[in-house]
């Protein structure tokens, strides 16, 4: 399906979330993990630019994905990157307060795409985020970014380590630079969106 992205709004409180409609896909990861670049390869430069604009990096940026007849098929929610430093009881002390309620309560949220860097060991807040999503009963897929930086052997080794440390059955390697894995990620996103639409 050919979809085009249209920026909807930047929300800095729950009151500003768009009206619930099409299934939503949330994108999460630490700052610098490659989230803007991946969004760029999924839906085009416009979305990535909006999300990295100063002032919008602390907001949830919502994008509608429209089909050829301008119908809203999916909504992408680009969440602020979580910080490196302080860990608290929440997923990240550096996250604004409305993020966790979004993840916990948003009825139309169909899938969380969680990004970790394929080149570095997972950080405690990556682990914390996944544990939190598990306890909240949220469906998620973990994507290992910047996979192009690794040789075949290194990639296999790093992915195995990430799977073990994050207790995952699978992890999806991607590269925004080469496009590796992007088609498979799209397939997963569409599957989640379709399943959600079918049951509601």
**For binding to ligand GDP (CB under 6 A), which residues are involved?**
29, 31-37, 52, 81, 145-146, 148-149, 175-177
CB count within 10 Å of CB 72 equals 16
HSE, side-chain direction, 13 A CA sphere, residue 19: 2
Please, which residue, 33 or 60, has the CB nearer to ligand GDP? 33
Q: Minimum distance from CB of 7 to ligand GDP (Å)?
A: 16
Q: Which is nearer to ligand GDP, 35 or 138 (CB)?
A: 35
Please say which residue, 23 or 29, places its beta carbon nearer to ligand GDP: 29
Q: How far is the CB of 35 from ligand GDP (least distance, A)?
A: 3
Closer residue to ligand GDP (CB): 149 or 163 = 149
Q: Residue 184 corresponds to which tokens in the numbers above? A: 């498979």
Closest approach of ligand GDP to the CB of residue 42, in Å: 12
What DSSP element (H or E) covers 9?
strand 4-11
Rounded least distance, CB 94 to ligand GDP, Å: 13
At residue 28, φ and ψ (nearest 5 deg) are: -135, 145
55 torsion bin: left (phi>0), alpha (psi -120 to 50), beta (else): left
Burial class (CB in 10 A: 0-12, 13-18, 19+), 148: middle
Q: CB of residue 175 vs ligand GDP: minimum separation in angstroms?
A: 4
* Closer to ligand GDP by Cβ: residue 13 or 178: 178
Residues 148, 113: contact at Cβ < 8 Å? no
């Amino acid at each position: 399906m050919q979809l085009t992205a249209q920026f909807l709004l930047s929300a800095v409180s729950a009151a500003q979330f768009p009206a619930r409609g099409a299934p939503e896909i949330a994108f999460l990861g630490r700052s610098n993990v490659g989230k803007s670049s991946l969004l760029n390869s999924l839906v085009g430069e416009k979305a990535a630019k909006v999300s990295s604009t100063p002032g919008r990096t602390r907001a949830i940026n919502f994008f509608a994905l429209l089909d050829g007849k301008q119908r809203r098929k999916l909504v992408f929610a680009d969440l602020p990157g979580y910080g490196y430093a302080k860990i608290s009881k929440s997923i990240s002390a550096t996250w604004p307060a409305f993020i966790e309620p979004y993840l916990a309560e948003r009825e139309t949220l169909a899938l969380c795409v969680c990004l970790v860097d394929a080149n570095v060991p997972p950080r405690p807040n990556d682990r914390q985020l996944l544990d939190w999503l598990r306890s909240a009963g949220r469906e998620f897929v973990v994507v290992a970014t910047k996979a192009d930086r690794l040789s075949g052997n290194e990639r296999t080794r790093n992915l195995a380590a990430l799977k073990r440390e994050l207790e995952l059955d699978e992890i999806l390697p991607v590269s925004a630079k080469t496009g590796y894995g992007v088609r498979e990620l799209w397939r997963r996103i569409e599957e989640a969106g379709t399943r959600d639409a079918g049951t509601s």
